[in-house]
Chains A and B, each alone.
Chain A
């Protein structure tokens, strides 16, 4: 497994409101350009939401790591 130097991480497992996507957007706003962020989510909907938003917002989805009961999304802020 690749080791990443994560600047910010949010555990959004079990978060339905505001939800994992809102937590990711919050992190992107807080982060500096070039920093790596990690989002933990157990919500299956996040698998569609994160790639769609990353594409629209023009950041980089570095990796989705599928773990036993949740996924770990590694995102890089590009601008």
Chain B
């Protein structure tokens, strides 16, 4: 019997583990998931959660509700991978051998790099505690300049800063604060979205809503005393409230096991999802260095190739199944409207407007249910 070990139990790791146990007979393989957290969070909710207080339990499920009972869950931390001996060190001092390994460790929000998130004027919405702090800041906001900027690239969900900006505009209008507020959106590129055609649409919406766009702004540091954010390019922008997407890094286990690039993202073949220069090792989701968006959708659509390749290897065949880069991206443009983008390695994003309010409302409500009932469980 083979040991297939999945390290990391957020969306990508859980969905892969669930799909694997469905494809394999118990006598052929044991699927083990290593994850210390006992809850799964529907992370796309964070961008909305910043504007309205409600319990986190509304978008969180316990692990036993999303992970198949056929998966062996080790509630501990994996600390090191020895790819020669094919074994994983655990924080309890034990080691776990593997025949096949799937890395799904995600991206770490490295707040310490910014060293300013304790300031009451500097916020983000990528972690629960930070989002709660942002809720309070927005509730107490009485007008001024709000600046939104990524701190580094890559970051999870490329449209998220623009989505937050659109929602902020709507929120301020509803609370009669928009005419007292300047919104500035800083972005590393010469346009407000990576892809040119989608960017045109985003820019039009920015213009219509009076959102100022500052191009080529790559965050370097923040001057808390004078409330200025400063770019690599030498520009300084003043703020009253700064929403700074936190730096993303790979996790320590990837860095310590020498499996990552200089920021700790796993060196991964973008077609087969095999870890480069390693045997029987795969990676998926936000932990990889693949040139695709760090999103649950990308993990979902790449999972079938990874699983097929493990199954091929188990049969002694060459892992030839290729992921074509297909993914979808749901860009929220207000609390009621959105764009749906579809793209792959072979074609640029095609956009579809979900401006029918009934359909959008249905989609928005249904998607969280689909996430917990079907996607994470590996049924789709």
* A13–B325 alpha-carbon span in the complex (Å): 11
- Verify if A17 is at the interface (C-beta below 8 Å from B): yes
Q: With A and B bound together, what is the CA distance between A23 and B270 in angstroms?
A: 14
B292 interface contact, C-beta 8 A: yes
Tell me the bound Cα distance from A11 to B196 in angstroms: 20
Task: Please indicate the chain A residues that have their CB under 8 angstroms from the CB of B195 in the complex.
Answer: 16-17, 19
**Are B190 and A17 in touch, CB under 8 angstroms?**
no
Measured CB to CB, the closest approach of chain A to B42, in angstroms, equals 21
Contact, CB under 8 Å: A21 / B216: no
What is the interface of chain B mostly: helix, strand, loop, or mixed? loop
A17 close to B345 (CB less than 8 A): no
Whether, in the assembled complex, B348 has its beta carbon less than 8 Å from a beta carbon of chain A, the answer is: yes
A21 to B261, alpha carbons, bound, how many Å? 18
Q: In the complex, are the beta carbons of B345 and A13 less than 8 A apart?
A: yes
CB-defined contacts of A57 to chain B, threshold 8 Å: 216, 218, 232-233
B329 at interface (Cβ–Cβ under 8 A)? yes
On whether the beta carbons of B262 and A14 are closer than 8 Å, the reply is no
Cβ of B24 under 8 Å from chain A: no
Q: Are A17 and B292 also in contact (CB < 8 A) when A26-B153, A26-B154, A30-B262 are?
A: yes
Q: Are A17 and B216 in contact (CB under 8 A)?
A: no
Complex-state Cα separation, A21 to B292, whole angstroms: 13
Q: Are B154 and A22 in contact (CB under 8 A)?
A: yes
Residues of A within 8 A of B261 (CB): 8, 30
Q: CB-CB < 8 A to B218: which residues of A?
A: 25, 57
CA distance A51 to B9 in the complex (A): 41
- Which chain B residues in 182-230 approach chain A with CB under 8 Å? 188-190, 194-196, 216, 218
A residues in contact with B341, CB < 8 Å: 17
Q: Tell me, yes or no, whether B293 is within 8 Å of chain A by CB.
A: yes
- Of the four ranges (under 10, 10 to 19, 20 to 34, 35 or more), the interface on chain B belongs to 20 to 34
Report Cα–Cα, A66/B241, bound state, in Å.
45
Find out whether the CB atom of A14 lies under 8 angstroms from the CB atom of B344: yes
Q: Is the CB of B291 within 8 A of A14?
A: yes
A52 within 8 A of partner (CB): yes
Nearest CB of chain A from residue B161's CB, rounded to whole Å: 12
Tell me the bound Cα distance from A14 to B261 in angstroms: 20
CB-CB under 8 A from A12, the residues of chain B are: 291
| B349 contacts partner chain A, Cβ-Cβ < 8 Å | yes
Q: Are B233's CB and A56's CB within 8 A?
A: yes
CA of A25 to CA of B188 in the docked complex: distance in angstroms? 8
**For residue A79, which residue of chain B has the nearest CB?**
B232
CB-nearest residue of chain B relative to A15? B291
B92 within 8 A of A: no
Q: Looking at the complex, which one of B190, B196, B262, B345 makes contact with A15 (CB distance below 8 Å)?
A: B345
Among the listed B158, B232, B263, B325, which residue makes an inter-chain contact with A18, where contact means beta carbons less than 8 Å apart?
B158
User: Judging by beta carbons under 8 Å apart, are B158 and A17 in contact?
Assistant: yes
**Are B345 and A22 closer than 8 Å at their CB atoms?**
no
Binding site for A on B (CB under 8 A): 152-154, 158, 188-190, 194-196, 216, 218, 232-233, 261-263, 270, 291-293, 325, 327, 329, 341, 343-346, 348-349
Contact sample, A vs B, 13 pairs, CB 8 Å cutoff? A8-B261, A8-B262, A12-B291, A14-B344, A14-B345, A16-B349, A17-B327, A17-B329, A18-B153, A18-B158, A19-B189, A25-B218, A58-B233
